[in-house]
Structure 1
Amino acid sequence: MTTKDRVLQLLKQSNATLSGEKIAQELAISRTAVWKAIKELEKVGYTFDHLKTGYRYLPQDRLDDIAIAAGLPDLAVATKATSESTMKDAKLAQVSGIKAPFLVVADMQTAAHGRFNRPFFAQKGEGIYMSLLLTPNQSFAELPQYTVLAAVAVCQAIEKLTTRKPQIKWVNDIYLEGRKICGILSEAQSDFESGIISHVIIGMGLNFAIAQKDFPNDLQQKATSLFAEGGTPPFERNQLINEIWRHFFDLLAQLPQQDFLTEYRKRSFVLGQTVSFTQGGKTYSGIAKDITNEGQLVVTTPQKTFTLNSGEISLSSIGE
């Protein structure tokens, strides 16, 4: 960690004003080094109060790879001002030989998309756009259900930091009060001869603090954000990102004992609802009865009971 990073972390962790002398003592550096570090941080956009008694960090929602990785010692993090696609960034990292787990987070994503290449609305500085590269080196049958795990982790993180109660639309969307706030996409790369899954990338787009009025007209009733009412959120995006992956890796570490599907099912707003879907060119409507241990959705229709795979089917309506 560089001197300026250490100074930044110390100031962020303190609610009090810290003198240059106090910072120098805490970090075992010179007061001149402290002054230079503050200047370097201000050049890249950080702001501080300069008071007679010292320096005070002014809260600001800037992506910070150190804050994101805090408490996750095996996770390498890279932050970017703009990305066409963090999924592409993660794929390039894999080709370049960057060690996993590796997380890339962007302040803005210009070509965001979800399942079936559907576009995802993004807003600079007000959303979370990130992708995690993993190297499971397991067969497909042994592979954890990463999308399901990530959905549970997002819900748990939001529940820990807020009073909100997010729900999951099978299989990969997070909703608040009937509107989408987050989409999750997982892609795997396998070795054809061995059948081993060598790399998995989990992409995520989460509307953090986009004001409701800023969503396009066609999304006003379909999408929202965690803090859509405006004003300053009570915590930074860095904290939520950290919590999401902390919960994700905790869930992953507890497999196979962890009953994450129970956590997934109890947050589902699909189960018990009438859903519609299209299969083989024909549209069906029925009641969503269960989610199997393999993450498939069981739907009972007048014709028969279907077991739907998420990679093949998308629900066209719910509750109609």
Structure 2
Amino acid sequence: MVYNHGNPCYTDRDRGDMMSLKEELLRYLEEHREAPVSGQLLAERLSVSRAAVWKAVKSLEEEGHRITAATNRGYQLEAASDVLTAQGVRYHLRPAYRDCAVLVERRVGSTNTQVKKLAADGAGGRTILLADEQTAGRGRMGRGFYSPALTGVYMSLLLRPETDSAQLPIITVAAAAAVCEAIEALTGLETQVKWVNDVLVGGRKVCGILTEAVSDFESGRTESVIVGIGVNVKTPPALFPAELREIAGSLLPASVSRNRLAAEIANRLFDYAADLPGRAYLEPYRRRLMVLGKRVRFYREGAWQSGRAVGLDGDGCLEVETPSGAVLLRAGEIRMEGEPI
């Protein structure tokens, strides 16, 4: 696997060299989910014997893929098959992004930590890393992010925007808008945003976002931005730790492919990131902002203060009216009135 800093995406030749027969077969089945594909056609397309195709199918099934095999019809990935794969994600990416690096791990400590290492090794913008499970998922303010296996989309995207660290809050806003739009488009669920980085469905948090920058010490220029996104897709309520059961939720009972959801989030975030100054993401974000007009508490100058959230400025900062005057929150987090501190 070779990264080119000037061209962050894999070429078709690179990808072909990396793919095993099993990976090529999975890609083909992913691209033809709508109908069975005959073993003979697969053998011809992949330049192998039908016996080799059969063995590859069995190997994929052992990994958890659900594949229907019907006599005289062929092989077909079942609709309920939801194994997270690079092929599955890439298939749902828009053509403009389909050649970008997509990496999938079964278990990592933190996807953001892994992508920071990739960035240091020269990975280019629009690199996507996903994991089935995080053992040390990270949230804002040093908190952990609960990331049980096979139930969520845990992903980090590497961006190389032409911006400075002062613009980090606006990238988080763009990411939240992308997540909301992707969830609504694929599930029909209504989403809300709690400033600045929590996405809620039905009043429960289903997604958290952690944006981190890697900057050049001397120039202060932001070399890369890592956007970590964790979505609880099909986490049963009983699986959440006791301290999270009253506040966390998932997209259940809605059903959505994790591969497709990850790709749709990436599509929308890459679109927004291509024109951060255009601020196209501000209105979708503002429209879903649940705190406007409500009383909130925020930590400032060493103490908790309170006021009424009245607006969102052009940089994604929250405008709060307090007894002592207007306050503009550029970072940090807020609590709704009555919410524990």
Q: Is the 8 A contact 2:67 2:77 kept in 1?
A: yes
1:39-58 equivalences under 5 Å are 39-53=58-72, 54-58=74-78
User: How far apart, in 1, do the equivalents of 2:66 and 2:225 lie?
Assistant: 38
Offset of 1:265 from its aligned partner?
0.5
Moved more, 83-92 or 44-53: 44-53
Q: Deviation string for 1:3-41 (max 9, x for gaps)?
A: 333322332323333221132345555434423432442
Identity across matched positions, percent = 40
Q: Is the 8 A contact 2:211 2:228 kept in 1?
A: yes
Q: CA RMSD in A?
A: 2.2
Offset of 1:49 from its aligned partner?
2.6
Cα pair distance change 1:50/1:263, threshold 3 Å: closer
Specify the SS of the correspondent of 1:138.
Answer: coil
Specify the SS of the correspondent of 1:125.
Answer: coil
Cα pair distance change 1:61/1:269, threshold 3 Å: same
Corresponding position of 1:247: 268
| 1:8 matches 2:26 | yes
Q: Is the 8 A contact 2:151 2:233 kept in 1?
A: yes
Moved more, 76-85 or 12-21: 12-21
Q: Deviation string for 1:135-167 (max 9, x for gaps)?
A: 225334677821111000000101110111111
User: How far apart, in 2, do the equivalents of 1:5 and 1:18 lie?
Assistant: 16
Corresponding position of 1:268: 289
User: How far apart, in 2, do the equivalents of 1:117 and 1:284 lie?
Assistant: 22
Offset of 1:56 from its aligned partner?
2.6
TM-score of the two chains, using structure 1 as the length reference: 0.90
Corresponding position of 1:78: 103
Corresponding position of 2:305: 284
| 1:18 matches 2:43 | no
Offset of 1:281 from its aligned partner?
2.6
Aligned residues: 314
Corresponding residue to 1:38 among 44, 57, 62: 57
Q: Deviation string for 1:220-268 (max 9, x for gaps)?
A: 22110011x4xxx633100000000111112223443353211110010
Structure 1: any 5+ residue segments left out of the alignment? Answer: none
Q: Deviation string for 1:164-216 (max 9, x for gaps)?
A: 11111111110112111111011112112222111111111111101122222
User: How far apart, in 2, do the equivalents of 1:249 and 1:138 lie?
Assistant: 15
1:1-320 equivalences under 5 Å are 1=16, 2=19, 3-12=21-30, 13-27=32-46, 29-53=48-72, 54-58=74-78, 59-70=80-91, 71=94, 72-140=97-165, 145-227=170-252, 229=253, 234-310=255-331, 313-318=332-337
Specify the SS of the correspondent of 1:103.
Answer: strand
The residue type paired with residue 164 of structure 2 is S
User: How far apart, in 1, do the equivalents of 2:228 and 2:168 lie?
Assistant: 17
Structure 2: any 5+ residue segments left out of the alignment? Answer: 1-15
TM-score of the two chains, using structure 2 as the length reference: 0.85
